[in-house]
Amino acid sequence: MTTTPRWRALTHHNLFWPVVVLVVLLLVNVPFTPDFFSIRMTNGHLHGSLVSIVLFGSPLILVAVGMTLVIATGGIDLSVGAVVAITGALTCSYISDQSDQSALSGVFFAIGIGLLAAVVCGLWNGFLVARMGIQPIIATLIIMVAGRGVAQLVTDGQIITINSEPYKLIGGGYWLTLPFSIFVVAAVVAVTVVLTRKTALGLLVESVGGNAEASRLVGIRSRRIKIMVYVFCALCAGIAGLMISSNTSAADGNNAGLWIELDAILAVVIGGTSLLGGRFSIGGTVIGALVIQTLTTTIYTIGVPTQTNLVFKAAVVIVVCLLQSPKFRAKAFGGRFGNKPGAKGGTGQPAVAPAQTAKTTEAAPKMEVS
């Protein structure tokens, strides 16, 4: 392992560690499931563990992408799980009232109602945070708690089941041999990237999160920006809610999207966006969400007892978070992975003592996999 500039550029890329963790987690599965990486075609649909991971991870990716923008402004949105439940409940209960549950117009209208409810939730969160100046964690806690009540009110406390072919497509159907969810996710991610990087929205979001007072003094309408990201986050959660209820053809006000906000926040952090706000990375978040979904899959395939799987998950998350910390990397591996790009005089870092370099080689056998 020589420290060529290219290698250095690679290890210092902000997606390096999330990708390493993802690859390692995927490889862990191979001894337990030898055909883990194989993808088969059955009945015109592609099947395989990798496809499943993306399919089951779809709602989380959606929620996490929305969460990324909220966190980038220095906020947080705890209400996404409840928004998932509300959207699913409203949409399914409307469809279940139709005489022909498969009528396209009814399904589209139902989806519209569900997403509108999500947008209203987002507006409420944004209003509380941006206009009323309530701390985001408190403001969004309101819908987190009350939202599930609303969802249960809509469903009368029952699990509403529906039988609608077109609606089933969103979360359980296939298109061009792939699960339709994957296309939905790809579209949302693409729209988000375009919206943030092709307009100035991303820059303004990062500025508001990076230094709120400076942003005010530079004339950024930060309230408007904040309301927008909360609405966008809720909309993403709404789409995830459609997907989850569509996948099971049922709306469960109690359990749909339960704790998804925590996984989403975790995905954002694993993806390298700081909870303090500022710089964000949509790509990192997608990888972070995939890491979490792969972890869940891995827990099942390697047969961790269900009673203890949360402990296992926690252990992996701790490792990932430590790897993300420049301070920890500096301590554990010495200078090679420790310093941030350009933190001290850019590329060359002659100050690393030989002893430390030796330690690095010992401590970093994991690196060989990339």
Partner 1 sequence: MAEPQPVLEMTGIVKEFPGVRALSGVDFRLFPGEIHALMGENGAGKSTLIKVLTGVYSLDDGTITLDGQPVQIDSPLQAQQAGISTVYQEVNLCPNLSVAENIFIGREPTRFGRIQWNRMRKEAAELVDRLGLDIDVTAPLSSYPLAVQQLVAIVRSVGTGDSDGAGAGTKVLVLDEPTSSLDRDEVLELFRLMRQLRDEGVAILFVSHFLDQIYEICDRMTVLRNGTLVGEHMVSELDQVGLIQLMIGKALDQLEELHDHQLRSDVGETLVKADGLGRTGGIAPFDLEIKKGEVVGLAGLLGSGRTELARLLFGADQPDSGKVSIGGKQVSMSAPNDAIGAGVAFCSENRKSEGLVPDLTVRENIILALQAARGWTRPIPASQRDELVAKYIKALDIRPANPEARVGQLSGGNQQKVLLARWLITQPKLLILDEPTRGIDVGAKTEIQKLVVSLSEDGMSVLYIAAELEEVLRLSHTIGVLRDRKLVAQIANGPEITPSRILETIASGEHQ
Report CA Rg, the chain. Answer: 22
CB-wise, 217 or 355, nearer to partner 1? Answer: 217
CB-wise, 205 or 320, nearer to partner 1? Answer: 205
Q: Among 63, 22, 37, 32, which residue's Cα sits nearest to residue 264?
A: 63
What's the closest the beta carbon of residue 61 comes to partner 1, in angstroms?
Answer: 24
What's the closest the beta carbon of residue 225 comes to partner 1, in angstroms?
Answer: 7
CA–chain centroid gap for 128, Å, is 24
What's the closest the beta carbon of residue 214 comes to partner 1, in angstroms?
Answer: 6
Write the interaction track for partner 1 spanning residues 255-294; mark x where CB under 8 A is met and - where it is not.
Answer: -----------------------xx---------------
Residue 133 structure tokens: 């100046």
Q: Coil, helix or strand for 42?
A: strand
CB-wise, 20 or 212, nearer to partner 1? Answer: 212
Write the interaction track for partner 1 spanning residues 199-238; mark x where CB under 8 A is met and - where it is not.
Answer: xxx-xx-xx--xx-xxxxxxxxx---x-------------
State the residue for tokens 């992996």.
316
Q: Does 198 bind partner 1 (CB under 8 A)?
A: yes
Number of residues that bind partner 1 (CB under 8 A): 24
What's the closest the beta carbon of residue 124 comes to partner 1, in angstroms?
Answer: 22
Residues 171-192 as b/e (b if ≥16 CB within 10 A, e otherwise) read bbbbeeeebbbbebbeebbeeb
Cβ count near 289 (within 10 Å): 30
Write the interaction track for partner 1 spanning residues 304-343; mark x where CB under 8 A is met and - where it is not.
Answer: --------------------------------------xx
DSSP H or E run through 251: strand 250-252
Is 280 in contact with 273 (CB distance < 8 Å)?
yes
Give CA–CA dist 84/237, Å, rounded: 5
Q: Which residues bind partner 1 (CB under 8 A)?
A: 198-201, 203-204, 206-207, 210-211, 213-221, 225, 278-279, 342-343
